[in-house]
Structure 1
């Protein structure tokens, strides 16, 4: 999404690679469980939208095998490209502005994509239209408003600072058009779109080394924006990064809400 001026977390920054690795460690087991239950296996034809890092398309390609196909798309495919080969094709594609692929799929999946898009309704419709009858859609997106804190156990000044910085991050996201309560709307949106068998669940780790890595990479990437908007001073950001490095903070993420359904 790095070509979109509204996208806050530019994938061209070096921190993006660190963020993708941390997101993979945190959420891949959860995502893979859902993909397994939706039939990821030999012969699968799948569209992975806004793929970002290589871990999900690579896993899907291994499951699809020689008879399957995985199309992994993103506006910036520099981090996705290592997954290319075998069943996996990596293609630059803008889900909002570009024509959809000229094919249909058994499974369409997007993780942490739609919440950032201004025209997320159009993107969702495009993904639904790309499903074959009986095909499954799995959308996994954050809901920062559902759990807005970086440190739910706010027992000291380091935790209070972390939560103030998380508030600043959310304000920056909202200022770029992100819907901070989007995740909870997905079951209704999929039902309204005419899909069947709508189900959803949510996951967020209370604390993990990968949470601290993700937090530090995000704060480093947004350092200048956080300072310019008055959410923190340079010294406060340095203090927060030091606390993360020392492992003293129990940092969590926004809940990841996974919603899945089938096309009639």
Structure 2
């Protein structure tokens, strides 16, 4: 995916992208499924999974009886024969495919798009009356992530890594680290009703999916982190800490926002 300001930070062409999708599914799928189960009966409903990544939620929607279209700019990680259709689609430059939809879901997608507000409006307009839009995003701008660490130098290194990733590298590629906090207001501005937001986070110890994302991020953003002042030795230490249960970090706040078309 490309943006007007740079290149998408976590490209699906990267060899480690499949692992990223697996870790994100392990972290986020339980919350997503809980929200969907509570909000909608999916039997026979037309469901659009935007930026479907590894396809875990698209497969779950199909298993609940939904008629599912999974889209991604680079859909190579979406499995054939998983009960959903796949479409290569550019959410920024192309119209929302095949409207109207009963349910549209996008997770960790719009925060990477400089035109995110316009995209949200187009998604909202592509719903049937009373159709549901579920947007899930991280509010990653909140600092202070280390809850416990093997020593003070490890804690300082993880905090510095996080500040570089969230404060420099992601925004340089068009990401809004505070977008999760802004979705609720954007849905109201788009004319959606019954808008509700739930926020969730938990601790991530080294060796768990959340902490292991540190090593994946290092792999995908190595050049930028080196340019920002981290050394190869420090990057190696971060990858070690990602597997060390003595490191415990606060999970990134997940903002799950639902709105309905009037």
> Which residue of the partner structure matches residue 216 of structure 1?
215
Cα distance in 1 for partners of 2:144, 2:54 equals: 26
**1:153, distance to aligned residue in structure 2 (A):** 4.2
Partner-residue secondary structure (3-state), 1:207: strand
Contact 2:204 2:249 survives alignment (8 Å): yes
> Which residue of the partner structure matches residue 161 of structure 1?
157
| 1:134 matches 2:130 | yes
Q: Give ranges in structure 2 of 5+ residues lacking alignment.
A: none
**1:30, distance to aligned residue in structure 2 (A):** 0.2
Cα distance in 1 for partners of 2:121, 2:104 equals: 12
> Which residue of the partner structure matches residue 109 of structure 1?
105
Partner-residue secondary structure (3-state), 1:198: strand
Partner-residue secondary structure (3-state), 2:248: coil
Contact 2:139 2:255 survives alignment (8 Å): yes
Cα distance in 2 for partners of 1:186, 1:73 equals: 21
Q: How does 1:154-233 map to 2 (within 5 A)?
A: 156-170=152-166, 171-208=168-205, 209-230=208-229, 232-233=230-231
**1:236, distance to aligned residue in structure 2 (A):** 0.8
> Which residue of the partner structure matches residue 36 of structure 2?
35
> Which residue of the partner structure matches residue 149 of structure 1?
144
> Which residue of the partner structure matches residue 63 of structure 1?
64
Cα distance in 1 for partners of 2:52, 2:154 equals: 34
Distance 1:40 1:163, change over 3 A: farther
Contact 1:19 1:213 survives alignment (8 Å): no
TM-score of the aligned structures, taking structure 2 as reference length: 0.92
Q: How does 1:233-248 map to 2 (within 5 A)?
A: 233-248=231-246
TM-score of the aligned structures, taking structure 1 as reference length: 0.92
Cα distance in 2 for partners of 1:179, 1:162 equals: 21
Distance 1:23 1:149, change over 3 A: farther
**1:84, distance to aligned residue in structure 2 (A):** 4.5
Q: In the comparison of the two structures, how many residue pairs are matched?
A: 257
Cα distance in 1 for partners of 2:214, 2:154 equals: 14
Distance 1:83 1:186, change over 3 A: farther
Q: Give ranges in structure 1 of 5+ residues lacking alignment.
A: none
> Which residue of the partner structure matches residue 47 of structure 1?
48
> Which residue of the partner structure matches residue 252 of structure 2?
254
Contact 2:213 2:242 survives alignment (8 Å): no
Contact 2:47 2:101 survives alignment (8 Å): yes
Instruction: Using the TM superposition, name which of 246-255 and 33-42 deviates more.
Output: 246-255
Contact 2:50 2:72 survives alignment (8 Å): yes
| 1:18 matches 2:24 | no
1:63-105 CA-to-partner distances (Å, cap 9, x unmatched) read: 12xxx4101101010112x15543x111000111012213211
Partner-residue secondary structure (3-state), 1:197: strand
